[in-house]
Chains A and B, each alone.
Chain A
Amino acid sequence: MNFFQIKSEIPNVAPDIVFNFYGWPVSNSFLLSFLVTILFVFLVFYTKHALKKSYGSFLAVVEMFYEVLSTFLKKLGGSSAQAKLIFPISASIFAFVAVSNLISIIPGLSSFSYNGISIFRTPTADFNTTFGIALGMILIINAIALKDFGFVEYFSKFFQFKQVFLGFKSGIKDGLFAIINFGIGLLDIISELAKIISLSLRLFGNIYAGEVLIVVLFGALAFVAPTLWMSMSLLFGLVQAVVFSSLITVYYAQARKPDEG
């Protein structure tokens, strides 16, 4: 039975440090995410070059992706002027997360090793990457809301002192409801933190658990079973990228002041 099983060790939650760069530790998932970023920069310059020379099929593919992303994300993003602001950020996050999730299907990427640790690991299977992206996005959304509403009005969404005062002025029952709303406003601060944690944990959990299951399945039966799970993992990678970017767009649309007119 050992012929049909390939045993290897389950990847750790924390990534392995490959080398130190002037005192900063560089992990293997960071190396691969850096490569993905360089790939996208190269694609951007190539598209600019192709636009000048007007190549046919490459531009058609790029326009197809842009069209699909644009119609999907701009529908979720609120009024069309507001959706235009978040669209570059959401679409780039979608592209980066989708390519990062799918890049583990390339065979042989995990065989490059240095000092016994493999120097490539799926970027989103590392909690640091997903937490960084989620934290950055929620901070950007809150900064945009701060600029939209102004300093006092933005904080009065969380600390609803004025509503309590107005509620008690118009009656005792309204005042008691206003106190309940004050508690809800305080819970909104916690819900911002919960947004960060849920966004990052959802993406990290899907991809990391997929990798662990592939290792476990290879240990059980290496001939047919991992294929099924690897194809599902491709689908889940795409779905998680869609969910991540569309959730960011929805949080942005909820945080903006609604447009008048």
Chain B
Amino acid sequence: MEQTAFLTVEAARMIAKGVIALSMVGTAIGEGMVVAKALESIGRNPAETDSIFSKMIIGVAMCESTAIYALVMFFII
């Protein structure tokens, strides 16, 4: 097939990269909720700060993982 198409491969690749980058909005919202709840529970019970903080870090890393999948896809495409 000749390359008189409306959309070349390079343009399609750029559009795909843009759509992949849009998917990280959900990660930001989710991580914000995790940190907000952690801060609220630290405020209610300051004696447990260390335990809550370490669990919050693990929760943030889990939320980050879908954004990392998107980042890997971005570099591979």
Does A146 touch B at the CB level, under 8 Å? Answer: no
Which residues on A sit within 8 Å (CB–CB) of B71?
A: 205, 209
Which of A198, A209, A246 is the one whose CB lies under 8 Å from B75?
A209
A198, A243, A246 — most chain B CB neighbours (10 Å): A243
Q: Determine if A209 and B58 form an interchain contact, defined as CB atoms under 8 angstroms apart.
A: no
In-complex Cβ contact of B68 among A10, A206, A246 (8 A): A206
Determine whether A49 belongs to the interface, using a CB cutoff of 8 Å to chain B: no
Measured in the bound complex, the distance between the Cα atoms of B71 and A202 in whole Å is 10
Q: How many residues of A contact B (CB 8 A)?
A: 17
Q: List 6 A-B contacts (CB under 8 A).
A: A204-B72, A205-B69, A209-B68, A209-B75, A242-B58, A246-B58
Candidates A72, A201, A243; contact of B61 at CB < 8 Å: A243
Nearest chain-B residue to A238 (Cβ)? B57
* B62: interface (CB < 8 Å): yes
Give CA–CA (A209, B57) in the complex, Å: 20
Whole-angstrom distance between the Cβ of B61 and the nearest chain A Cβ: 4
Interface residues of B in 39-77 (CB under 8 A from A): 54, 57-58, 61-62, 64-65, 68-69, 71-72, 75-76
Does B72 lie within 8 Å of A205, measured CB to CB? yes
Which secondary structure dominates chain A's binding surface? Answer: helix
Contact digits for A212-242, partner B, Cβ 8 Å, 1 yes 0 no: 1000000000000000000000000001101
CB pair A208 B72 closer than 8 Å: yes
Interface size of B in residues (CB-CB distance below 8 Å): 13
Residues of B within 8 A of A202 (CB): 61, 64-65, 68-69
Residues of A within 8 A of B72 (CB): 201, 204-205, 208-209
B68 to chain A: which residues have CB within 8 Å? Answer: 201-202, 205-206, 209
Q: Is the CB of B58 within 8 A of A243?
A: yes
Which residue of chain B is the closest to A197 with respect to CB atoms?
Answer: B69
User: Quick one: closest B residue to A10, CB to CB?
Assistant: B75
Chain B residues whose CB sits within 8 angstroms of the CB of A240 once the complex forms: 61
Query: CA of A198 to CA of B61 in the docked complex: distance in angstroms?
Result: 12
| B61: chain A residues within 8 A (beta carbon) | 202, 239-240, 242-243
Q: Which residues of B contact A242 (CB under 8 A)?
A: 57-58, 61
Q: Which residues of chain B are near A26, meaning CB under 8 Å?
A: none
Residues of A close to B62: CB separation below 8 A: 243
Residues of A within 8 A of B75 (CB): 10, 13, 208-209, 212
